[in-house]
Amino acid sequence: MKIIEILPEYFDEFTNYIYEEWKQHYKNIDDVKTFYKNLYKKGTKTYIYIKHDGELIGFYTLMKHNRKVYLCDLYIKQKFRKRGLGKKLVNHAIKTINEYDNKCKLLYITTEKQNVVFYLKLGFEIIEEKNNMYNMVYTLQKNEYIFLYILCILSAIILLWWIIKR
């Protein structure tokens, strides 16, 4: 099983997969292709999916807009759920964002009530609930703040040691 960035050579396979999984949301395959091509042109960094024995089983989309990064379309095929693959994709998204733009501090997602517990377990926080949809946020680069905190403590210790030695 591996996670692959959607490059032009995978685009048809990916959009066919989307159409087959979500036919009720699209009139035809051309709508799917147009939708995802437009996202890609607007700066969507990457579409990533997991393949298992040649079968597409899940994906996510990262979209950057006005210095914010959104995790969109996180999806795992029904028969592959409850195996930790969603968590694997979210962790991959976080790693990808840190490599993509290390100035981004927050990852946003909007999800339905049934998914809230999943995201809370991964460290997301609810920032708003409206019409059974939840806006959630994940703080990226938490280690950066811990490092600064430790640096401040070490600086204070060194300063105290220096004052005592004088």
CATH number of 2-165: 3.40.630.30
pLDDT at 109: 84
> For residue 78, is pLDDT > 70?
yes
Q: 43 falls in which pLDDT band (50, 70, 90)?
A: low
Task: Let me know: does 127 contact 136? Beta carbons within 8 Å.
Answer: yes
Q: 148 falls in which pLDDT band (50, 70, 90)?
A: low
pLDDT at 79: 87
Q: What average pLDDT score do residues 103-130 get?
A: 87
What is the SS3 assignment for the chain? Answer: CEEEECCHHHHHHHHHHHHHHCHHHCCCHHHHHHHHHHHHHCCCCEEEEEEECCEEEEEEEEEEECCEEEEEEEEECHHHCCCCHHHHHHHHHHHHHHHHCCCCCEEEEEEEHHHHHHHHHCCCEEEEEECCEEEEEEECCHHHHHHHHHHHHHHHHHHHHHHHHC
- Could you tell me which residue, 105 or 43, shows the higher pLDDT? 105
CA-based nearest residue to 15, from 41, 30, 33: 33
Backbone angles phi, psi at 112, to 5 degrees: -85, 160
Query: What mean pLDDT is reported for the chain?
Result: 80
Most trustworthy range by pLDDT among 88-92, 138-142, 147-151, 156-160 = 88-92
Q: What average pLDDT score do residues 19-33 get?
A: 83
Give the pair of three-digit tokens for residue 144: 């950066």
| Threshold 0.75, pTM exceeds | no
Q: 139 falls in which pLDDT band (50, 70, 90)?
A: confident
Spans of all domains in the chain: 2-165
pLDDT at 27: 84
